[in-house]
Amino acid sequence: MENADDLCSSTIVVNLTSEEAAMRWLWGNTDKLIITVILPCVVTIGVLGNLAFLFTVVRLKRMHTITNYYLCHLAIADILFLVVSAGLYIWVYFSSPITHDVPYKSSLGCCLTFFPIFLCYFSSVGIVTLVSLERYYAICNPIQHRAIQGMHRTTKFLASTWFVAILLAALATPRFGLLKQVCLQWPESEPFKHLADNYHDCFSVGPEFSVYPEVIQSLIFVISFTVSLFCYIKIVFALTHRSIEGDNTADNNVTQMQNVRNQIARLLILNGIVFFVCQAPYRVASVNNIIRIIGGEVILNKDGAGTLLLVSRASLFLNSAINPYLYALSSPFYRSAFREALFGESNVKTRKPTMTTPVASVTVSKNDTTDQIE
C-alpha cells in the first residue's frame, strides 16, 4: 500500500471514524439472507413464470393475440431485468466484503450492466402503455380498432417502443457510466484491519448526468401513468355500461364471449395498477435524489431515503416476477391456457366460445393473428 496516499489524493476518500459507520459499508447477515436465498428464489420463480407464459403463447394457437404479443415482450423485458439485476447483486456480493464494490476493471463494465437495466425499465413502461391504449381502443372504440388492428401495426409499435427505449437507455446510462475508486479510512480496531483500503463503484460521468437521467425516467413514468389511468377509467366505464346492457342478452355464447373479453380487460388493468404501484417507490426515491443533487429540501432524510431505496428495489424485482402469476390467478382464460400448455389439461367450456361464436369474431387479414376474444 505504499502508493495509497498518492492514489487517494486524486479519488474519493471516505473517513469512517466509528465502527458503527464502518459496519454499514460491509455486507451483513441480512444482506447474506436476501442475496443468497431470497433473491435467487424470486428470480427463479419470476424467470420460470415468464418462460411458462412465453411457452403457453407459442404452443396454443388461441393465445396468438395482439394483447398476448405485447405481454410476451413485457415478459422478455422482465426476464432480462431479473437476470441482469440479480446477477449484478450476486456478483458484487461474492466478489468483495465491501458493499457496492463492483468487480469491473473499466467503465465499460458499468455501461454494459446498467444499459440493459435502463432498457428494461423504458421498454416495460412503453409496453404497459401500449397495452392500455390497445385495450382502450378495443373496448371503447371497437369499430375503429377492428379497422386498424393487425400484427403488422402491432409489430411496428413494438419495434418503435424498443427503439425509443434503446435511445433513452443510452441517454440514461451515463448516470452510472464511470468507474471510480473510493478510498476508505477504516477504524483501527481488529475487524477492519485486513480489509482493502479502497473499492470501485459506478458513478455519474459528470454533474449534469446525475440529474437529467433521473428527470427523464420520472417524466416518462408520469406520462405513462397519466395515459394508462385515462384508459383504465374509460375501460371501466365502458365495461360497466355494457354489463348493464348485456343483462338482457339471450345468446349465452355471445355473453360468455363478452365475459372472457371483459375478464381479460380487467386483468390487464390489474396488471397495469400493480406495475405502477411497484414502480412508484423507486420514482419517489428518484425525485428525492434529484432534489438532493440540486440542493433543495429533500423529502426524506438519509436513513429514510436508504430504507425507501431498499423497498423500491424489492418492489421492482417483485413486479418483474409476478406478472404471469397475476394472469393465472386473476383469469380463468389464462389459467386454462397454462394448464393445457404445461400439463396437457384442456377446458372445453373455456375454449368453445373462442372457436365457434361467429357473432363475436372479427374480420382477420393474412397478417393478423388476432383471435375472437380481441
What tens digit of pLDDT does each residue of 14-48 get? Answer: 777 778 778 888 888 888 999 999 999 999 999 99
State how many domains the chain has. Answer: 1
* Gap between the terminal Cα atoms of the chain: 67
Helix (H) or strand (E) holding 180: strand 178-185
Confidence band, pLDDT 50/70/90 cuts, at residue 192: confident
For 74-108, what is each residue's pLDDT tens digit? Answer: 999 999 999 999 999 999 999 999 888 999 889 99
- Percent of the chain, pLDDT > 70? 83
Domain that holds residue 350: 14-360
The pTM score is 0.83
Tell whether 2 is covered by a domain. Answer: no
**Does 350 or 197 have the greater pLDDT score?**
197
Tell me the C-alpha to C-alpha distance, in Å, between residue 348 and each of 159, 255, 345: 36, 17, 10
* Sequence-ordered list of residues with C-beta below 8 angstroms from that of 356, at least 6 positions apart, any chain: 253
Give dist(CA 159, CA 235) in Å, integer.
Answer: 26
For 294-346, what is each residue's pLDDT tens digit? Answer: 777 767 777 677 777 788 888 999 999 999 999 988 888 899 999 999 988 76
Question: How many C-beta neighbours within 10 Å does residue 50 have?
Answer: 26
- Identify the CATH number of the domain in which residue 331 sits: 1.20.1070.10
Tell whether 9 is covered by a domain. Answer: no
Tell whether 23 is covered by a domain. Answer: yes
Tell whether 146 is covered by a domain. Answer: yes
**Hey, what's the cell of 267?**
386483468
Tell whether 272 is covered by a domain. Answer: yes
Question: For residues 146 and 362, is the Cβ–Cβ distance under 8 A?
Answer: yes
Helix (H) or strand (E) holding 13: strand 12-15
Tell whether 3 is covered by a domain. Answer: no
Tell whether 152 is covered by a domain. Answer: yes
| Polymer length of the chain | 374
Tell whether 340 is covered by a domain. Answer: yes
